[in-house]
Structure 1
Amino acid sequence: MRGIRERFSVNQADRWPAALANLANLTRDYPDAAARVVTNGTGVYALLGNSDLTQKMALLAQQVEFQVCANALGEHHINPDHLPYWAQVVPAGIVALAEAQNEGYAYIKP
């Protein structure tokens, strides 16, 4: 398969393990696939600190784009400076999801 474009939405912290497993399979089986994760809601908490999850995200960030909703960061009183370098803050997660769909990305919600 060529031209795979997958967009994952993670808006709950407990959904990260499933999302990361899906992303690991996707990047392994389809290394040329374009993958983007948009996180908002309580999903933003998983990007803080050093954990098994952030280590897996950091490895995947070599092939996967991670976008974080600025609104969710504000809602949860998280300073964007505390996010990993590979996490891109976007103004609104819902808009980032719509833009990705407009760009031809399929929507995956693990």
Structure 2
Amino acid sequence: MSKLKVLFHVNENDRWNVALGNITNLIKDVGEGNVDVVVLANGPSVAAYTDAEKIEIMKGLSEKGARFLACRNSLKKMCADNVICINEENLPSFVIVVPAGITEIIKRQHEGYAYVKP
């Protein structure tokens, strides 16, 4: 079996628990080395990168190969709207900031990633 490629798109904070559960189950089912997991957070869901409980789960998943991305446009908009200001330097070390979430989704789909929106 070739390595599965999947992009999880989380843009609502209340979908994180489902997404993290899906990722955990996927890795458990196919094995760490058999899946390339990318998790893109944009919109209000970027706030989860400040939630200690979720960060611990994400960190564990990142140690199993999952990559977590944050949309820079969303980080800026959340701050501009006075919702929450997250300095990129204060994000967990395993979080990669991408310029635009929508562009990342399109690129990953073009690269053959399955799209999952929990």
Structure 2-normalised TM-score?
A: 0.88
What is residue 117 of structure 2 aligned with on the other side? Answer: 109
What is residue 57 of structure 2 aligned with on the other side? Answer: 56
Q: Give 2:117's aligned amino acid.
A: K
Q: CA deviation at 1:82?
A: 1.7
What is residue 10 of structure 1 aligned with on the other side? Answer: 10
Gaps of 5+ in 1: none
What is residue 77 of structure 2 aligned with on the other side? Answer: 75
| Displacement over 4 Å in runs of 4+ | none
- Indicate how the Cα distance of structure 1 residues 82 and 49 shifts in structure 2: closer, same or farther if over 3 A, else same: farther
What is residue 42 of structure 1 aligned with on the other side? Answer: 44
Greater helix share, structure number: 2
Post-superposition Cα deviations, 1:15-61, rounded to whole Å, max 9, x if no partner, equal 000000000011111121111001100100000142x2110000001
Gaps of 5+ in 2: 80-85
CA RMSD in angstroms, aligned pairs only: 1.0
Q: Whose Rg is larger?
A: 2
Q: Percent identity?
A: 39
Partner secondary structure for residue 9 of structure 1: strand
